[in-house]
Structure 1
Amino acid sequence: MSFEDDRRAVEILLVEDSPSDALLTREAFGMTSIQNRLHLAMDGVEAMAFLRKQGVYNTSPTPDLILLDLNLPRKGGHEVLSEIKGDSGLCSIPVVVLTTSQRRADVSRAYELHANCYVVKPVDFLAFVDVIRSIQTFWFTVALIPELGK
């Protein structure tokens, strides 16, 4: 489904434990042309509760896209990715690993666990905004994604 002509905001779940990185991501998404609602989970446990609509997240929307950091407390990004892709109700949600790690082992493991893509966060803010724009453009104007929970 393309969101170009769809007037609803796209739902994005950002799984990120760094408050400063979360703020930068929110600012970067605010500078893009596609209307979005960015939800934040600060660790892997919170992310899975959000996705499974547990506890305080019982009315959370099903995200159209997940941006997943790998270095998370309580439950790491690879474990979260494994749970998402192993759950028949969640596995169709595109997951973009967005992390600082450039380790080949992290990249390989993410793809083994069926990440949809792996992106290293640029340090420079304007470069980061460009990356976020590219992610948003690709996933919401170029790629067709399933309608989940709508």
Structure 2
Amino acid sequence: MKNLNILLVEDDMIELMKFNRVVSSLEAKHNVIEANNGEDALKVLEDKTNLPDIILLDLNMPKINGLEFLQILKSDDVLKYIPAIVLTTSNNDKDLVECYKIGIAGYVLKPLKYEEYVSKIENLLSYWSLNELKKH
């Protein structure tokens, strides 16, 4: 299982801490790059020599929301190949459909129970670490 470079786009500090806690408990040593909103994430992605393997993002963010971020990402000839997985509390069908239209790789609902959250994140990261990912 390979170690992933993960760009986590999330504005909630508690969610960031929770995600990092799960990642640090795993056997695989994934690297997490944090961005607090879509604007910060786009700045991180400007360095095309050091791109993440996958992007996990929340939809409800200030400045550039998740949908706007995805549209920018998928219109870029290099960035569009990075799998983007939405990690959200929104089970709004309209959001779900819009995200898949734009071309996301997954849509995962954040469960309220911490144990379920741990299980989902573990499964998500082990799945993506088994995938062949495009090297930039």
Q: Which residue of 2 aligns with 1:145?
A: 133
SS at structure 2 position matched to 1:109: helix
Aligned equivalents of 2:135, 2:29: Cα separation in 1: 17
TM-score (norm 2): 0.95
- Contact kept, 8 Å, 1:31 with 1:129, in 2: the verdict is no
Q: Which residue of 2 aligns with 1:38?
A: 32
SS at structure 2 position matched to 1:12: strand
Residue type matched to 2:118 in 1?
Answer: V
Residue type matched to 2:133 in 1?
Answer: I
- Which of 103, 116, 125 is 2:92 aligned to? 103
1:70 equivalent in alignment to 2:59: yes
Post-superposition Cα deviations, 1:20-78, rounded to whole Å, max 9, x if no partner, equal 0010000111122221110100011001111113xxxx98x310010010001000000
Q: Which residue of 1 aligns with 2:14?
A: 20
Residue type matched to 1:147 in 2?
Answer: K
Aligned equivalents of 1:106, 1:33: Cα separation in 2: 33
Residue type matched to 1:84 in 2?
Answer: L
1:49 equivalent in alignment to 2:38: no
* Runs of at least 5 residues in structure 1 that lack an aligned partner in the other structure: none
Aligned equivalents of 1:131, 1:85: Cα separation in 2: 25
Please identify which structure carries the higher helix content: 2
Aligned equivalents of 1:49, 1:124: Cα separation in 2: 33
TM-score (norm 1): 0.86
1:116 equivalent in alignment to 2:105: yes
Residue type matched to 1:83 in 2?
Answer: I
**Across the two proteins, how many residue pairs are aligned to each other?**
136
Give the aligned CA root-mean-square deviation in angstroms: 1.4
1:82 equivalent in alignment to 2:71: yes
Q: Which residue of 1 aligns with 2:114?
A: 125
Aligned equivalents of 2:39, 2:15: Cα separation in 1: 19
